Amino acid sequence: MEPPVLKTAVRVCLAVAASVILLAPAASAAPSSGGTTFVLYIENRGIARIDNNAQGPDNGDLVHRELAISRTLKGPVIGVTYSQSEIIAYNPESKIDVRAVDIEDSLPGGWIFYRGVTQLPIGTLPQPGWTSTYAVIGGTGKFADARGVKRLTLLADGITFKAVITLVK
């Protein structure tokens, strides 16, 4: 089990990363709803699998990640993302597990928090081309009232995610 200090540090880093992203110039046009869209690149820097029960994937198992955020692919780091996924439904017959996912981006000006659910083949990690969308559920500082979506796509290198974050007013 992760020490509480590490979990808190990861959450703080995620918030900082989100703030930096939102302070950066938008990489694409704003959506018609009047929101703002940012494109970031988030590179995996650390991953830990925590098997909380019997050996092998089952309900309650966790995956923790720490990722570096940049405005451009392989660009300078502007923030940190922390994420945790937990298997909440495990069905060997369907060969799929369902995972609750919490993500925190630490960016200049505050944190952005995300929540969602994803499905993957049992016991696997995302592979290149994988995509998933998460709800923006709030933040701190300049992101205190943040709402919107974050769409992640794992790039061909298998370690970098392209994040398209759309915040709505």
pLDDT digits (tens, 9 = 90+) for 113-166: 999 999 988 878 889 999 999 999 999 998 998 999 999 999 999 999 999 999
Q: Could you count the other beta carbons within 10 Å of the beta carbon of residue 39?
A: 16
pLDDT at 155: 98
Structural domain boundaries of the chain?
Answer: 4-167
pLDDT at 88: 83
pLDDT at 52: 62
d(CA 153, CA 157): 11
pLDDT in tens, 74-127: 999 999 999 888 888 877 888 888 888 999 999 988 999 999 999 988 878 889
The residues near 139 (Cβ < 8 Å, ≥ 6 apart) are 15, 18, 110, 111, 112, 113, 145, 146
pTM: 0.73
CATH fold for domain 4-167: AOC barrel-like (2.40.480)
